[in-house]
Amino acid sequence: MSSARSGITASGHILMCEKEYLWLTSTSPADTLAIARALGAALRPGDVVALYGDLGAGKTLFCKGVGEALGISPDRILSPTFTIVTEHAGTVPLTHIDVYRLAGAREADEIGMREILSGDGVCLVEWAEKIEELLPTDCIQVKFSFLGDDRREIAIAAPDLPGFDEFRARSIRFQRGG
């Protein structure tokens, strides 16, 4: 796990704020769903979850797991070709956003992304790297990397999430050495 540090060094260089990540290994789609359900249980209205990673990494699958934790059937959460924002009614309203087809933050801003992200429900954002400057600084980050075949590394940072310790405990079997 990386340490969190930020500030200005003696030589005047600004250290970028490094978030503290929880590193998980998923070995199957079922693992990724289980991790997502556990995180979903810790989310609160207003939370924004930024999902990073390439095509096929598992972002949409993760959204299905979060949706399940909020009482939404996984087959309602899709990756439609042209829909950018989809609202779902769950125990908490869920806004599923996929900005893959947008050029970038400016275009997202033009369609009202700031307002959408500041809504009362939970927001999930696929391809978050494309709209980084519009995301709240305290957003929850979920970063996917391919480890080969069905294995994925999932790094999660949730600086201000009160339920994060409980999530950490519930995901122990996916942690290194867990």
**Site mask, ligand ADP, residues 25-54, x = CB under 6 A?**
-x-xx-xx--------------------x-
Rounded to the nearest whole angstrom, what is the least distance from the CB of residue 100 to ligand ADP in the complex? 8
Give 84 or 164: the residue with its C-beta nearer to Mg ion: 84
Binding span for ligand ADP by CB under 6 A among 24-32, 68-76, 104-112, 161-169 = 24-32
Does 60 sit near Mg ion (CB under 5 A)?
Answer: yes
Helices 29-42 and 59-69: crossing angle, nearest 10°? 50
**Which one of residues 37, 88, 130, 152 is an interface residue with ligand ADP (CB under 6 A)?**
152
Rounded to the nearest whole angstrom, what is the least distance from the CB of residue 96 to ligand ADP in the complex? 11
Q: Could you tell me how many helices (H) and strands (E) the chain has, helices first?
A: 5, 9
Give 3-state DSSP helix, strand, coil % of the chain, rounded to 5: 30, 25, 45
- Residue 65 binds which of Mg ion, ligand ADP, none (CB < 5-8 A, kind-dependent): none
Give 47 or 98: the residue with its C-beta nearer to Mg ion: 98
DSSP 90: S
- Residue 152 binds which of ligand ADP, Mg ion, none (CB < 5-8 A, kind-dependent): ligand ADP
Residues 35-65 as b or e (16 or more Cβ within 10 Å = b): bbbbbbebbeeebbbbbbbeeebbbbbbbbb
Distance CA 103, CA 134 (A): 14
